[in-house]
């Protein structure tokens, strides 16, 4: 950060490392923390003004830091502290410069939205004059002017992101758009049929690329999750390119959203966590003139809002997120046809039981993972030796952080009983009780 930034009179809000950076360049004292803070932390609010206006004396916030500001810079004053962090929030004595050690942007900071609201309206004096309709119009115009009289192709997976991108693109360029549904074979049961049904109604060309064997062949002997993602991403693009060549499309439209870009390390300051197949998985030589990503700045909840406004079916809008590489990243280790059948069946059972228990709209995601571990069991009177299936259910708002869901034991019991009864190759079920971070939501 250019140190001169703190000398201009514009409002600045530093979060976490941002607070430390401001402290460092304005002669504050930043050192490795003697007691690091990760996860939920309680802070005492010493000054409930500006960004902290209207907050309680004690606030539940989410921290993740190894360094700490031990003394504020001379021109700053402390606004909040925690047990281990003497400067958990500060403000410049004269200028609208603020820093928070915690993360107001994650759901675990109880009043995080209020803090950001205060910054935008109290400190920056912005007006709330931005509407979702405007952004839809802007995205439609952007697609229309980029594509012009040419043709575009979009990869439609049936997930919310690519579905919204398809609906937007159809609105923008209608029959100049071809939506290609690549059936890589790692979709959930019933999914290909459902996608077809939804998009038949739109004004666009719809094609299915049957590519199951092709993907399975490419993934032979591949164990490393990052390699898997790259291969799937690359193969996707190859299938698209082939289709695009046939229909002579020069643009590729994708449903990449903002968190995909952060976690794929799109900025040099955000570390790569995993390659979302539609971002870092892209091969470097692409035969398209340009890739358009209309949803690139939106979070999932905003994408859902757009979906509702575009009149997409409720079932699709409320569907849980599903990774582009599909069940292939929920089969740990090498994939094969048998494992693919097992994971499809297990996933179906998890979905059915969670939906029957009416837990589906409380959860961000719920699914099964086929681990590459085997365990001994007893089925009937005989010894069995089969797969260990893990159940993952997470609560989240934007997938940047997540909690494992405390599903009632009775539901977990039903799921475990059904999977072990209905799938002979499975002998054991475990429940994943890790938050994100330190885990990610998916296993690979």
Regarding 441 and contact with ligand XMP (CB under 6 A), the answer is yes
To the nearest whole angstrom, how small is the minimum distance from the Cβ of residue 440 to ligand XMP? 3
Choose, by CB under 6 A, the member of 263, 293, 347, 353 that binds ligand XMP. 263
To the nearest whole angstrom, how small is the minimum distance from the Cβ of residue 366 to ligand XMP? 11
Q: Single out the segment in contact with ligand XMP by CB under 6 A; choices: 4-12, 210-218, 288-296, 436-444.
A: 436-444
- CA gap 409, 407 in Å, rounded: 6
Strands 152-155 and 177-183: parallel
- CA gap 374, 377 in Å, rounded: 10
To the nearest whole angstrom, how small is the minimum distance from the Cβ of residue 260 to ligand XMP? 6
- CA gap 354, 371 in Å, rounded: 21
Q: Single out the segment in contact with ligand XMP by CB under 6 A; choices: 18-26, 304-312, 319-327, 409-417.
A: 319-327
Report in angstroms the alpha-carbon separations of 144 from 147, 152, 166, 174, 204: 5, 10, 13, 10, 14
- CA gap 138, 190 in Å, rounded: 34
Is-contact 441 394, C-beta < 8 A?
Answer: yes
Catalytic residue among 105, 235, 442, 444: 105
CA 111 remoteness from chain centre: 22
Regarding 365 and contact with ligand XMP (CB under 6 A), the answer is yes
Q: Single out the segment in contact with ligand XMP by CB under 6 A; choices: 16-24, 53-61, 216-224, 434-442.
A: 434-442
* Span 398-417, contacts to ligand XMP by CB under 6 A: 399
Regarding 228 and contact with ligand XMP (CB under 6 A), the answer is no
Considering CB under 6 A, how many residues would be counted as binding ligand XMP?
16
Regarding 440 and contact with ligand XMP (CB under 6 A), the answer is yes
Choose, by CB under 6 A, the member of 28, 225, 323, 386 that binds ligand XMP. 323
Give the phi and the psi of residue 76 in degrees, each rounded to 5. -115, 155
Catalytic residue among 65, 92, 103, 184: 103
In this structure, the number of other CB atoms found within 10 A of the CB of residue 320 comes to 18
Which among 162, 134, 434, 132 is positioned nearest to 295, based on CA atoms? Answer: 162
Determine the straight-line distance between the first and last CA of the chain, rounded to whole angstroms: 34
To the nearest whole angstrom, how small is the minimum distance from the Cβ of residue 388 to ligand XMP? 20
Regarding 321 and contact with ligand XMP (CB under 6 A), the answer is yes
* Span 106-125, contacts to ligand XMP by CB under 6 A: none
Q: Single out the segment in contact with ligand XMP by CB under 6 A; choices: 51-59, 171-179, 235-243, 321-329.
A: 321-329
Choose, by CB under 6 A, the member of 184, 277, 319, 418 that binds ligand XMP. 277
Q: Which residue's CB is nearer to ligand XMP, number 90 or number 240?
A: 240
Regarding 436 and contact with ligand XMP (CB under 6 A), the answer is yes
- CA gap 398, 298 in Å, rounded: 10
Is-contact 18 97, C-beta < 8 A?
Answer: no
- CA gap 328, 25 in Å, rounded: 46
Q: Does 184 participate in catalysis according to the annotation?
A: no
Regarding 154 and contact with ligand XMP (CB under 6 A), the answer is no
Regarding 324 and contact with ligand XMP (CB under 6 A), the answer is yes
Regarding 293 and contact with ligand XMP (CB under 6 A), the answer is no
* Span 4-63, contacts to ligand XMP by CB under 6 A: none
Regarding 184 and contact with ligand XMP (CB under 6 A), the answer is no
Largest CA distance in the chain: 78
**DSSP assignment of 405-425, as one string?**
----HHHHHHHHHHHHHH-TT
To the nearest whole angstrom, how small is the minimum distance from the Cβ of residue 321 to ligand XMP? 4
Q: Does 105 participate in catalysis according to the annotation?
A: yes
Regarding 73 and contact with ligand XMP (CB under 6 A), the answer is no
To the nearest whole angstrom, how small is the minimum distance from the Cβ of residue 408 to ligand XMP? 23
Is-contact 43 102, C-beta < 8 A?
Answer: yes
Which among 307, 313, 395 is positioned nearest to 354, based on CA atoms? Answer: 395
To the nearest whole angstrom, how small is the minimum distance from the Cβ of residue 329 to ligand XMP? 7
Gyration radius of the chain's alpha carbons: 24
Q: Does 126 participate in catalysis according to the annotation?
A: no
Choose, by CB under 6 A, the member of 325, 342, 401, 405 that binds ligand XMP. 325
Burial class from Cβ neighbours inside 10 Å (0-12, 13-18, 19+) for residue 315 reads exposed
The tokens describing 302, both together, are 């905003």
Active site residues: 16, 103, 105
Residues forming contacts to ligand XMP in the complex (CB under 6 A) are 260, 263, 274, 276-278, 321, 323-325, 365, 399, 436, 440-442
């Amino acid at each position: 950060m250019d140190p001169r930034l703190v000398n201009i009179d514009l409002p600045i809000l530093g979060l976490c490392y941002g607070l430390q950076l401001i402290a460092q360049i304005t002669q504050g004292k930043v050192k490795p923390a003697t007691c690091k803070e990760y996860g939920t932390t309680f802070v005492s609010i010493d000054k409930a003004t500006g960004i902290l206006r209207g907050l309680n004396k004690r606030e539940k916030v989410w921290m993740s830091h190894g360094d700490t500001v031990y003394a504020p810079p001379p021109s700053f004053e402390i606004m909040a502290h925690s047990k281990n962090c003497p400067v958990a929030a500060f403000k410049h004595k004269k200028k609208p410069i603020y820093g928070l050690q915690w993360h107001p942007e994650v759901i675990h900071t109880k009043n995080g939205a209020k803090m950001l609201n205060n910054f935008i309206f109290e400190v920056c004096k912005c007006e709330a004059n931005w509407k979702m309709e405007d952004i839809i119009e802007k995205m439609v115009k952007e697609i229309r002017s980029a594509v012009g009289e040419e043709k575009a192709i979009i990869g439609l997976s049936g997930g919310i992101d690519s579905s919204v991108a398809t609906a937007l693109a159809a609105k923008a360029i209608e029959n100049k758009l071809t939506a290609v549904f690549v059936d890589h074979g790692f979709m959930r049961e019933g999914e290909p049929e459902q996608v077809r049904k939804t998009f038949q109604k739109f004004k666009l060309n719809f094609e299915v690329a049957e590519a199951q064997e092709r993907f399975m062949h490419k993934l032979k002997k591949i164990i490393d999750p990052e390699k898997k993602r790259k291969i799937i991403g690359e193969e996707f693009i190859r299938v698209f390119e082939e289709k695009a060549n046939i229909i002579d499309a020069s643009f590729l439209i994708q449903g990449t959203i903002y968190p995909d870009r952060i976690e794929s390390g799109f900025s040099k300051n955000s570390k790569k966590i995993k390659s979302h197949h539609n971002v870092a998985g892209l091969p470097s030589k692409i035969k398209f003139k340009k890739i358009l990503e209309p949803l690139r700045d939106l979070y999932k909840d905003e994408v859902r809002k757009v979906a509702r406004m575009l009149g997409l079916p409720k079932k699709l809008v409320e569907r849980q997120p599903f990774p582009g590489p599909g069940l292939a990243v929920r089969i740990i280790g090498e994939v094969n046809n048998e494992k693919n059948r097992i994971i499809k069946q297990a996933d179906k059972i998890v979905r059915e039981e969670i939906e029957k228990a009416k837990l589906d709209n409380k959860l961000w995601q719920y699914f099964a993972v086929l681990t590459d571990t085997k365990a001994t069991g007893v089925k009937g009177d005989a010894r069995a030796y089969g797969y260990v299936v893990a159940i993952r259910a997470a609560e989240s708002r934007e997938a940047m952080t997540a909690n494992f869901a405390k599903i009632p034991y009775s539901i977990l019991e039903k799921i475990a009983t059904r999977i072990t009864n209905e799938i002979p190759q499975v002998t054991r079920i475990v429940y994943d009780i890790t938050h994100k971070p330190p885990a990610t939501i998916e296993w690979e």
